[in-house]
């Protein structure tokens, strides 16, 4: 069995300067570490993630990273005020209202794309004892 100490994600950026502007100006993150290739590590709570220069283009078709926040509604409002547009969904069992999806278990979620087309989720967890039944 692997003895994993922690896990993180790596997010590709075709334009690392543009990506840094997005993460630092729109999300308010601070660089924790700069990589020799121009990539940067951001720390978020007890975790972090790498944004690295890449020739590849994000598909934007699936969630590549999720940020847990205290309140999705407040977080979406803050993102909108910085010009970040939440994704809207209209599926039979999965509809957003003003960019926010109410999950069957009582949790809320929202998705947005970064400057490079990577799909990022916002979630707020509900303690299991208070989840909708």
- pTM of the full structure: 0.88
* Per-residue pLDDT at 24: 98
Tell me the β-bridge partners of 9.
49
* Per-residue pLDDT at 104: 79
Three-class DSSP category at 6 = coil
Q: Is 3.40.50.720 the CATH number for 9-130?
A: no
* Per-residue pLDDT at 40: 98
Distance from C-alpha of 111 to C-alpha of 96, rounded to nearest angstrom: 10
Q: Could you list the pLDDT tens digit for every one of the 133 residues in the chain?
A: 888 888 899 999 999 999 999 999 999 999 999 999 999 999 998 899 999 999 988 888 899 999 999 999 999 999 999 999 999 999 888 899 999 998 878 889 999 999 999 999 999 876 655 545 5
* Per-residue pLDDT at 130: 53
Contact, 110 vs 86, CB < 8 A?
yes
Q: Which of 1, 8, 105, 100 is nearest to 52 (CA)?
A: 8
* Per-residue pLDDT at 128: 58
* Per-residue pLDDT at 75: 96
* Per-residue pLDDT at 58: 83
Q: How wide is the angle at C-alpha 18 spanned by C-alphas 14 and 19, nearest 5°?
A: 70
């Amino acid at each position: 069995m692997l003895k994993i100490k922690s896990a993180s994600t790596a997010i590709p950026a075709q334009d690392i300067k543009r990506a840094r502007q997005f993460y630092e100006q729109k999300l308010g993150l601070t660089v924790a570490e700069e990589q020799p290739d121009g990539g940067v590590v951001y720390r978020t709570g007890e975790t972090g993630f790498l944004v690295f220069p890449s020739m590849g283009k994000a598909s934007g078709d699936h969630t590549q990273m999720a940020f847990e926040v205290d309140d999705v509604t407040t977080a979406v409002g803050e993102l909108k005020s910085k010009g970040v547009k939440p994704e809207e969904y209209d599926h039979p069992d999965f509809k957003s209202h003003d960019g926010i999806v109410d999950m069957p278990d009582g949790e809320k979620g929202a998705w947005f794309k970064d400057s490079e087309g990577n799909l990022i989720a916002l979630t707020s967890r509900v303690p299991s004892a208070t989840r909708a039944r």
